[in-house]
Structure 1
Amino acid sequence: MKRTLFAIVLISLGLTVRAQNTIPAAAIQIQTAELAAPADKRGASSVYGYSAKGEFILLRKGTNEMICLADDPKIPGLNVACYHKDLEPFMKRGRDLKAEGKTPKEVADIRDHEAKSGWIPMPKQPASLFVYTAKAENFDPVTGTVKDGYLRYVVYIPYATAESTGLPLKPDAPGMPWLMDPGTHRAHIMISPPQKN
């Protein structure tokens, strides 16, 4: 009896782990990735996601200026993003360094040096990033169904400061825009709408 229960538990755990690591169909990855994009940008954005083998690949070549990233199936919940194509060198470099095993601090330091040297071209104008998230219990990766998702907004303005923008360095009220990482290559305006309770 104990062996039977133990076997059932092992099978259940195996199914759970397998379900969490299952890579959704390309159509579902594209559908959920575009939830981060403004409505009028969906359908024409480039979308990167995962092959059946777990390789990070281009799922769809777009015709507009937006690039969307599908959810990483190894991480519980939903976390997708869309950003302006001028941010791609910066974003791709971050992905590559992370894949090499660099720590977040190492990634930041390397990109800082490479941006200052001009090796990573940074946008000459403000460039947008949209991030859409949902908790694991609110996201079905098989159907792409999401409930209670949360969208936040970022506008990159490399080397901007509080003085050059007039923005505070922290929000004084819920949803108020503020400037993060001022004076650096990754300076950006953060806009985080209040979340539902």
Structure 2
Amino acid sequence: MKLHFVVLLLFTLLISCSPTSNTEENSISVAVEADDSATEPVPEEKNTVAIDSDEALIATALMAAPEASRADCKVIGYNMAGEFVTLREGTNEFICLADDPKKEGFSAACYHKSLDPFMARGRELKAEGKNHNEIFDIREKEAKAGTLDMGKTGATLHIYYGKESTYDPETNLVDGAKYRYVVYMPFATAASTGLPESPIAPNHPWIMNPGTHRAHIMISPINE
């Protein structure tokens, strides 16, 4: 009887001394092995190519326009030969400005046709060698004098831009490009619009160059 008691006691002690972590270690080991054997997600392949033809310049420039209007937009800009030309005629209210193939990155724009005198004047002054401040001052003077047509109040400019200069020829989307929107309100101020003079949150509208010919509402993209 005493011998049975001793055997039972030793058996109980043996069980109680077994490391409880063994089961945990086994579980972790199994989890790690399962994780190692799991198939890692395959990154999606991008079917992007260089923007290296007039057709590609037109296709990507149109992406700056509202989707419903792209079919009838006029497209202007530098062609692959370096000439500033009309790349495609259009019939609606938008003019798209293609990316300059000689510059790094990508930047296309689409603006309401009533803004064309203002935009064209800027390009003309830039071609004359005027810098940003000089262009601003000249157009400010001309707008105040009434000799520069600033277009319709509320006319928009859509900018499609990014660091890459490649695109998907199936969708015409430029790799990593984003949108920025501008609404021109010549001589408007923070007081006349109720807008702040600097952005207070991502994607929040604000007024830039208030009180000048170039006053405009800015809507920048959300930073991801």
| TM interval, short-chain normalised | 0.7 to 0.9
Q: Secondary structure at the match of 2:156?
A: strand
How has the CA–CA distance of structure 1 residues 25 and 72 changed in structure 2, closer, same or farther, with 3 Å as cutoff? Answer: same
Q: Partner of 1:28 in structure 2? A: 56
Q: How does 1:66-85 map to 2 (within 5 A)?
A: 66-85=94-113
Residue 140 of structure 1 is aligned with which of 166, 175, 180? 166
Q: Are the counterparts in 2 of residues 89 and 121 from structure 1 also a CA contact under 8 Å?
A: yes
Contiguous gaps of at least 5 residues in structure 2: 1-49
Name the amino acid aligned to 1:168.
Answer: P
| Kept in 1: contact 2:80–2:101 (CA 8 A) | no
Deviation track 1:68-127 (CA, whole Å, cap 9, x = no partner) reads: 001011111110000001111010000011011111111111111111111111124210
1:24–1:142 Cα contact (<8 Å) kept:
no
- Give the aligned partner of residue 183 of structure 2: 155
Aligned-residue RMSD, C-alpha: 1.8
Q: In structure 2, the residue corresponding to 1:112 is in which secondary structure?
A: helix
Aligned residue in 2 for 1:11: none
Kindly provide the CA deviation profile for residues 130-181 of structure 1, in whole angstroms up to 9, marking residues without a partner as x.
1011113xx3279566222110100001111111111111111111100001
Letter in 2 for 1:57: V
Please give the alpha-carbon distance, in whole angstroms, between the structure 1 residues aligned to 2:223 and 2:68: 24
Please tell me whether the aligned partners of residues 140 and 213 of structure 2 are also in contact (alpha carbons under 8 angstroms): yes
SS at match of 2:111: strand
Q: Are the aligned partners of 2:115 and 2:151 in contact in 1 as well (CA < 8 Å)?
A: yes
User: Offset of 1:23 from its aligned partner?
Assistant: 7.9
Rg larger for: 2
The share of aligned pairs that are identical, in percent, is 54
Deviates more, 1:49-58 or 1:113-122: 49-58
Q: Partner of 2:86 in structure 1?
A: 58
* Cα distance between partner residues in 2 of 1:118 and 1:23: 40
Deviation at 1:42, TM superposition (A): 0.5
SS in 1 for 2:87: strand
How many residues were matched structurally? Answer: 173
Q: Identify unmatched segments of 5+ residues in structure 1.
A: 1-21
Is this contact kept in 1: 2:115–2:152, CA < 8 A? no
Of 74, 77, 84 in structure 2, the residue corresponding to residue 49 of structure 1 is 77
Contact 1:45 1:61 (C-alpha < 8 Å) held by counterparts: yes
- Cα 1:179/1:80, change in 2 over 3 Å: same
> Whole-Å Cα distance in 2 between the matches of residues 69 and 149 of structure 1?
16
